[in-house]
Copies of this chain bind each other. A is one copy, B any other.
Amino acid sequence: MTPNLQPNLQPGQKLARGVARYLRSLGYASLEEFVPMRGLRVDVMALGPKGELWVIECKSSRADFQSDGKWQGYLEWCDRYFWAVDTEFPTDLLPDDTGLIIADAYDAEIIRMAPEDKLAAARRKKLTLKFARDTARRLHSLRDPRPGQAGGMLHSAGEENDRA
């Protein structure tokens, strides 16, 4: 079950994998470690059939959650905001007005739907375009890695090419 492109996933990345599988079953296409703007990196950005943009932050432990001082900055970059945690996580810590997904490395489930706060049209357009271009560049780097370029390393390729 461990694909060769993902040999050593961190706990948060395992949750992200399960989240992406689950979201796909809902018709959402996911991109991990998306940078909506310089200095912000979300764990999973999901794009729905009608252009809905959801952010999912994956937290593997209480400490992981408590050390995140940035999450409120993500709210303005999505229509809905979710946490993804495992069954051991103390979910009482999480704010009530955010979505909750319980996940493991293989699957996930929405436990509490996030409230909707729709993006303005101009920001949605810009974000969708960046999502499309960043994703295509990562796919290109994976399909056509070249010596001397960052293409051989998935995450570096994503980062290097995340131009706003």
Interface residues of A (CB under 8 A from B): 1, 3, 5-6, 17, 20-21, 24, 29-31, 47, 49, 51, 125, 128-129, 131-140, 142-147, 154
Contact = CB atoms under 8 A, between A and B. Distances in A.
A149 to B, nearest CB: 10
For this chain, the copies found in one complex come to: 2
A129 B51 contact: yes
Contacts of A138: 139
Contacts of A132: 29, 47, 128, 131-132, 135
Contacts of A145: 3, 5
If over half of A's interface residues share one DSSP class (helix, strand or loop), that class is named, otherwise mixed; here it is: helix
A89 to B, nearest CB: 23
B17 A144 contact: yes
Given A125-B125, A133-B47, A135-B132, A144 B3 contact: yes
**Most chain B CB atoms below 10 A, which of A128, A147, A154:** A128
A134 B146 CA distance: 24
A144 B21 contact: yes
**Most chain B CB atoms below 10 A, which of A128, A132, A138:** A132
Contact of A135 (B5, B21, B135): B135
21 contacts: A3-B143, A5-B142, A5-B143, A5-B144, A5-B145, A6-B143, A6-B144, A17-B144, A20-B144, A29-B133, A29-B136, A29-B140, A31-B136, A51-B125, A128-B129, A128-B132, A132-B135, A135-B135, A135-B136, A139-B142, A143-B154
